[in-house]
Structure 1
Amino acid sequence: MIEHTKNSPLYIVLISIHGLIRGHDLELGRDADTGGQTKYVVELAKALAQQPNVERVDLVTRRIIDSEVSPDYAEPIELLAKNLQIIRIEAGPEAYICKEELWDHLDSFADNLLSWLHRQPRLPDILHSHYADAGYVGVRLSHRTGLPLIHTGHSLGRDKCRQLLANGLSMEDIEQRYHLSRRIDAEEDTLTNADMVITSTRNEIEEQYELYDCYMPEKMAIIPPGTDLDMFHPPTCPGKDIGFATTLEMSLHKPDKPMILALSRPDERKNIIGLLEAYGESPRLQQLANLVIVAGNREDIREMSDGPQGVLTELLLVTDYYDLYGRVALPKHHSSDEVADIYRLAAATGGIFINPALTEPFGLTLLEAAASGLPLVATENGGPVDIIGNCHNGLLVDPLDKPAIAKALLTILENPKIWQKFSENGLKNVAKLYSWETHAQAYLQKIQTFSQYRENLPKMPPVTKTVRYPARAIFTSIDHTLLGDPQGLEQFVQFIRENRKKFLFGIATGRRMDSALAVLKKHHIPMPDILISSLGTEIYYAPQLIADITWAHHIDHLWTPKVLQRIVSGLPGLTPQVKSEQSRFKLSYHYDSNMAPSMEEILTLLRQHELPANPTLSFGQFFDIIPARASKGLALRYIARQWNIPLERILVTGGSGADEDMLRGNTLGVVVANRHREELSLLGETEHIYFAEGPHAWGILEAIKHYDFLNL
């Protein structure tokens, strides 16, 4: 069902999962996860909510209940305005964890968020994901609802990998520390399936997104972030005292000298150590100006995590090596409310703002500094190229060239006319090009096409739901899961017959419907209430085996089987299966692992051809391609929604890679013991997944006892 919404005010959901997000006193720089992105999404939400054609904005993040952080992050709902709120969704442990540890909990986040959305008066018009983890969730929500997905990457895994390799880390170290393979895979999937990708600069498109298999510049929109011009402005009374000056006086011998200001979190990629070394190697720079590095907040460096601890320790060692005491300040504390005053203090001294990062996706601090009247020196890698190019208010430098950094700073400090020109250009052009009002209007204009239609799946199945089923279900695959041990199967069938009125019984298989029914009949397995066949592309309801045509219409979105056939047919090691195994929404091949490309290579090929699809390898020998919106897991969740069965009360059993997304998330997952269970080994650390010791049907019975299923 398509609902026309062209003239309706918009309901927008922004998804930003990691870090610490609240509507006030943002803890910017606390750690690597609480930086510019958190500020961006909060400011974006506020700006959109103020637009006349926006009905409602929800900023969705993860709920955190942890004595180590503020209780603000445990509040399920934080109201920011009449039509604006922060929604916190539970996923994984209650504690605050870094983004690299979130991956195994994102399916649960998606399940919980969709459940929350369905409790609202209506579904949103737009989903907008921020960063790779939210992109992973957004793709799944978009597939399940048909809602358009907008994505903003903020920073990208392939670019980060390139930078880390350049810094001397090995791929093994990078993977262990950052889990970049999962992040990059999520980014590739998001870029393939998103309706539009919002970037901040053209450089971001050409230098970073170009690294991805699914590189589609035509669906990327450049909308630079804004800055709050009411908060960030030049010092109105240059002689007026600014409170933060007292903090600096404790570290600086001559605090009235021009200030070279750097403001970032203590992260290696921000290159503030390189900046300090450049300052330490330039006596002229030390003579003309002080260096102030505001690198987050700290109590005891010894108790910080390895990354920030290493950066801050090195800053102290470099300060000592060059004997920079009295000329360098590394303040321990600052509040978010003081940031604007810090910029104004630097401007009042005739100072400069510098961003020496190895690469900078955009650079919100550059806009804030420019709006405060500061000239800029910034890295030539990333967003600053566009900002300084548009505003004509500073100089770009190679962040690895320390003499070049010092020369750029001296060029501005030693030439008052240049300083004045850069300051005035920044003030004028930031107000013209980078206000949040400008950003919000450009944003709404870009998404207009996608927000005109909203696709809603009906809330009830196409057959009458009988009243004899409680809200509980068992779904199992067939081959190498239900089948494989005759005695175990006999016991399972007996369990089904004895308890048939206590739950809904479903089959989810890669087989076609006719093939599945033949197997069930051969092994005397009771007819399921619901049959998911052909890897989730078909759904049938007993007893008449009525096909769900709504599901077929939903998954037909962007499905191009002839194009896919043409691309795959030329690959070695792939031969079409017999016609009886093919279907309208499933292309099936035999896979010879000795000759065929790897799954990663096949995925790359499909993405390079800009083809959203869901390729699956099962039992190491069966390769299938189905629509992007189809899978066993997506079909199962569609049924759960239609029949109003909580996922937490659905026991799902599988034994191969084709079952993975059915097992992830909030279902009660069961991996039975068989020779193909290694395809699901990555699920070992995931919540709600039980690895049974018993093989095949015995493993299902074992899991029923493990979960105490009948008493849920």
Structure 2
Amino acid sequence: MFLLHVALQGCLRADNVEYGLTADTGGHIRYLLDLVKASSAAGPVRRTVIATRGFESDLGAEYAPAPVRAEAGVEILRLATRSPHYLPKEELWAETESFAEGLIAWIEAQGQRPDMLHAHYADAASVAAIVEDRLGIPFVFTAHSLGRVKADVMGARAAEVPHLGKRIEIEEAAIRRASLVIASSRDEAEVQYAGYAGYDPGRIRILPPGSDLSRFGAATACPEVEASINRFLSEPDKPVLLALARPVAKKNLCALVRAFGENAELRQRANLVIMAGNRQDLAALDGEMAGEIREILCLIDRYDLYGQVAYPKTHRPDDVAAIYAYARDRRGVFVNPALNEPFGLTLLEASAVGLPLVATDSGGPNDIIEMCGNGELVDPQSTQAIAEGALRILRDPALWDGYAKAGAKAVAAYDWSRHATRYHELLASLLAQRPETIAPRPDQLLICDIDNTLVGCDIGVRRFSQWRSEQEGMVFGVATGRSFHSAMSILEQRDAPRPQVMITSVGSEIYHLDANGTTYTADPDWRAIVQRGWNRQAVLRALKGLPGLQPQAALEQRAFKLSYFSDGDREITARVRARLEVAGLQCSVIHSHGRYLDILPVRASKGTAVDFVRRRYGLPENAVFVAGDSGNDIEMLRTIPQAIIVANFSDDLASLPALSHSYVARATHARGVIEGVLHFRNKARSAWQSAR
């Protein structure tokens, strides 16, 4: 496979990147370089080239236009465009046509064309679309950050951002055109992209970036780093609130200074250390970064924080691990207060060192803290929430210890080799355009719950995958409380077979695998059915303030699903139904694991969704198998005669009278599913033989 990455913006070079040198020398460059190195080191990739924009400037001669050359083992092509000068990312849209012409000429001069383009940021997607029109080479798209999200968080100030409307327009075109969109987090896939007219969830995959965290796990402080920070502080041995980010508005560093300055207890307990990129002279920074640094300095003066805040002008890339270690050794906290963080590589680095996190609840930190359980999510718009999040950790030594220890999970969970493997599988699948083998008239349908049914035992998943490959004429699907992207992510992480049907969000959404065997399409007929009579706002009003009920995070809410935590009260379901009935609302109420409570349209459930899929394939009920383990599977298990309860069930499923027809497997997880299917097949075979 020959991959061509297109990334116009930033001062891109293969090593010793001067992060923070300009407003667009940030995490996306680190992501791109790490992806290219991991991709080139493993898998079916025989060649990888990065095509970027060459320009003349005093930022460095190495950024000038140049033919392909190897830089630290990475092939980089620097193409000239209409303007010879460095341009900020907001102005690059004007260069895409001239860049595309140069790139097409280069491709046509190669002995072999690239198999796939990977466009980084929307301006690169504009280039890739021109290349695809002319040469037929498909492309995938990684946005890294989105203009509409920036506009939303900035509010009225968005009008001051040059060309932001043009950027959003280009992003719309990129989302519609790309063969596949790669997102870093659930928030990006399900919330950020959802604001675009071209949003198509079935063409988005969550692929969390990896990170080379090996050097962070054994990080130690060094005298030079300590000296550069301590010179600012009156009490340098106090715990540290550490922030490490470029000084741009979306990173929200000023809010962190306000949170610190406004909270006397926080100032008493800790120092604040802000590593805001690199600068030699404030006057030499570009406008946004210079403005943010000035605002930080003004806030330090306003709150009289001298001796309590450190803000070194420079640090080397090799110093970063030691900076984290400095904060860890003082039992400090790493704080990321960004208005939106697409992923958060610094959070992974801090986690690997053993620093607890306080992070924005907007973006990738949701996934990281859910995975690792090593910090607090806070509203970045609330300085009080930021301060309280930090204080919860600083006040409680046992909590600090637990979060610090849990950070080690990041090393195993976010690995570049694993990322590269999944990345190659997706690209190969797109290039193959090989449809899944579905019989024209399938004769059986198997639908499984995911958590603790299909997955939960790696050996069982491997056995199931092999068994599944041998089932001719069977359509395989999943039914889960997870969202589409969350479900797809867990299936791919566990190497489960790709379903032809995905029933997600407790049956409120249905997706079908496209003919290319890679992307999915939401079922419009099912959406039309479930939305009839559904009044989401009325349900919210009816349940507001109900004792024993707490809304789950915004990321868990869907258009046709409202999700809550319950306090474990056995009567909570009855009380919820009574409150809805008083309000004149008909809804499905599903309580599972004694903690999770979902409110759905009355026509939506796993059971009704499975029946809809059965009828779509024209199958009788006795040709359908369903398998589950918990309370949110009851409707599905109750309505299908050939129901399987795996041995590791919960919520007393096996003793429920409504499920007396079910087969309770002796085996757990996926092996219990296989056992159940074979049981019902043998039963049907015996009945057929007796009838003869």
TM-score bucket (shorter structure): 0.5 to 0.7
Q: Partners in 1 of 2:256 and 2:311 — Cα distance?
A: 13
Q: Partners in 2 of 1:408 and 1:155 — Cα distance?
A: 25
Structure 1 runs (4+) deviating above 6 angstroms are: none
1:231 corresponding residue in structure 2:
215
Q: Partners in 1 of 2:92 and 2:56 — Cα distance?
A: 15
From 377, 391, 397, the equivalent of 1:416 is 397
From 421, 424, 427, the equivalent of 1:441 is 421
Q: How does 1:456-467 map to 2 (within 5 A)?
A: none
**1:77: Cα distance to partner?**
3.3
Partner-residue secondary structure (3-state), 1:225 = coil
**Residue 49 in 1 paired to residue 37 in 2?**
no
Q: Partners in 2 of 1:368 and 1:148 — Cα distance?
A: 34
From 60, 68, 76, the equivalent of 1:86 is 76
2:179 is matched by which residue type in structure 1?
Answer: D
Q: Partners in 2 of 1:233 and 1:146 — Cα distance?
A: 45
**1:142: Cα distance to partner?**
1.5
CA contact (8 A) 2:139 2:180 kept: yes
**Residue 111 in 1 paired to residue 95 in 2?**
no
**1:143: Cα distance to partner?**
1.8
1:37 corresponding residue in structure 2:
28
Q: Partners in 1 of 2:158 and 2:326 — Cα distance?
A: 42
Aligned residues: 435
1:30 is matched by which residue type in structure 2?
Answer: L
Q: Partners in 2 of 1:255 and 1:119 — Cα distance?
A: 59
Structure 2 unaligned runs (5+)? 435-515, 517-692
Assess, with a 3 A threshold, how the Cα gap between structure 1 residues 70 and 410 changes in structure 2: closer, same or farther.
Answer: farther
Q: Partners in 2 of 1:197 and 1:243 — Cα distance?
A: 43
- Measured against aligned partners, the alpha-carbon deviations of 1:275-332 in whole angstroms (never above 9, x if no partner) come to 0011011122112211111111112223322211211111111111111111101111
2:183 is matched by which residue type in structure 1?
Answer: T
Assess, with a 3 A threshold, how the Cα gap between structure 1 residues 241 and 339 changes in structure 2: closer, same or farther.
Answer: closer
Q: How does 1:274-353 map to 2 (within 5 A)?
A: 274-353=255-334
**Residue 272 in 1 paired to residue 272 in 2?**
no
**Residue 121 in 1 paired to residue 107 in 2?**
no
**1:153: Cα distance to partner?**
0.7
Partner-residue secondary structure (3-state), 1:232 = helix
2:649 corresponding residue in structure 1:
none
Q: Partners in 2 of 1:286 and 1:126 — Cα distance?
A: 52
Q: Partners in 2 of 1:111 and 1:137 — Cα distance?
A: 9
TM-score (norm 2): 0.61
Q: Partners in 2 of 1:45 and 1:208 — Cα distance?
A: 25
- Measured against aligned partners, the alpha-carbon deviations of 1:219-255 in whole angstroms (never above 9, x if no partner) come to 111000011123322435xxx6342111112111222
Q: Partners in 1 of 2:81 and 2:158 — Cα distance?
A: 31
- Measured against aligned partners, the alpha-carbon deviations of 1:617-654 in whole angstroms (never above 9, x if no partner) come to xxxxxxxxxxxxxxxxxxxxxxxxxxxxxxxxxxxxxx
**Residue 383 in 1 paired to residue 344 in 2?**
no
2:91 corresponding residue in structure 1:
101
Q: Partners in 1 of 2:68 and 2:362 — Cα distance?
A: 38
CA contact (8 A) 2:360 2:378 kept: yes
2:146 is matched by which residue type in structure 1?
Answer: L
Partner-residue secondary structure (3-state), 1:79 = strand
Structure 1 unaligned runs (5+)? 1-9, 455-556, 558-712
**Residue 159 in 1 paired to residue 139 in 2?**
no
1:432 corresponding residue in structure 2:
412
Q: Partners in 2 of 1:278 and 1:379 — Cα distance?
A: 14
2:621 corresponding residue in structure 1:
none
Partner-residue secondary structure (3-state), 2:122 = helix
Q: Partners in 2 of 1:222 and 1:344 — Cα distance?
A: 31
TM-score (norm 1): 0.59
Q: How does 1:131-280 map to 2 (within 5 A)?
A: 131-165=121-155, 168-169=156-157, 171=159, 173-174=160-161, 177=162, 179-235=163-219, 241-280=222-261
CA contact (8 A) 1:63 1:75 kept: yes
Report the more deviating stretch, 137-146 or 269-278.
137-146
CA contact (8 A) 2:65 2:80 kept: no
CA contact (8 A) 2:185 2:207 kept: yes
Q: Partners in 1 of 2:167 and 2:109 — Cα distance?
A: 30
**1:64: Cα distance to partner?**
2.1
CA contact (8 A) 2:23 2:286 kept: no
Partner-residue secondary structure (3-state), 1:161 = helix
Assess, with a 3 A threshold, how the Cα gap between structure 1 residues 73 and 38 changes in structure 2: closer, same or farther.
Answer: farther
Partner-residue secondary structure (3-state), 1:218 = helix
2:209 is matched by which residue type in structure 1?
Answer: P
From 415, 430, 436, the equivalent of 1:450 is 430
Q: Partners in 2 of 1:100 and 1:41 — Cα distance?
A: 20
**Residue 13 in 1 paired to residue 4 in 2?**
yes
Q: Partners in 2 of 1:400 and 1:187 — Cα distance?
A: 26
Q: Partners in 2 of 1:39 and 1:32 — Cα distance?
A: 14
CA contact (8 A) 1:25 1:337 kept: no
2:86 is matched by which residue type in structure 1?
Answer: Y
Partner-residue secondary structure (3-state), 1:102 = helix
Q: Partners in 2 of 1:118 and 1:138 — Cα distance?
A: 15
2:362 is matched by which residue type in structure 1?
Answer: N
2:39 is matched by which residue type in structure 1?
Answer: L
Q: How does 1:346-385 map to 2 (within 5 A)?
A: 346-385=327-366
**1:72: Cα distance to partner?**
5.1
Q: Partners in 2 of 1:70 and 1:287 — Cα distance?
A: 48
Q: Partners in 2 of 1:403 and 1:293 — Cα distance?
A: 19
- Measured against aligned partners, the alpha-carbon deviations of 1:111-150 in whole angstroms (never above 9, x if no partner) come to 1011111122201111100111111111111222211211
Partner-residue secondary structure (3-state), 2:140 = strand
Partner-residue secondary structure (3-state), 1:28 = coil
1:71 corresponding residue in structure 2:
62
Kindly, what percent of the aligned residue pairs are identical? 41
Q: Partners in 2 of 1:125 and 1:208 — Cα distance?
A: 29
1:301 is matched by which residue type in structure 2?
Answer: L
CA contact (8 A) 1:21 1:73 kept: no
Superposition RMSD in Å? 1.9
Partner-residue secondary structure (3-state), 1:231 = helix
2:216 is matched by which residue type in structure 1?
Answer: F
Q: Which has the higher contact order (CA 8 A, sep 6+)?
A: 1
Q: Partners in 1 of 2:397 and 2:7 — Cα distance?
A: 43
Q: Partners in 2 of 1:451 and 1:81 — Cα distance?
A: 29
**1:22: Cα distance to partner?**
0.5
Partner-residue secondary structure (3-state), 2:4 = strand
CA contact (8 A) 1:191 1:214 kept: yes
The structure with more radius of gyration: 1
From 25, 34, 37, the equivalent of 2:16 is 25
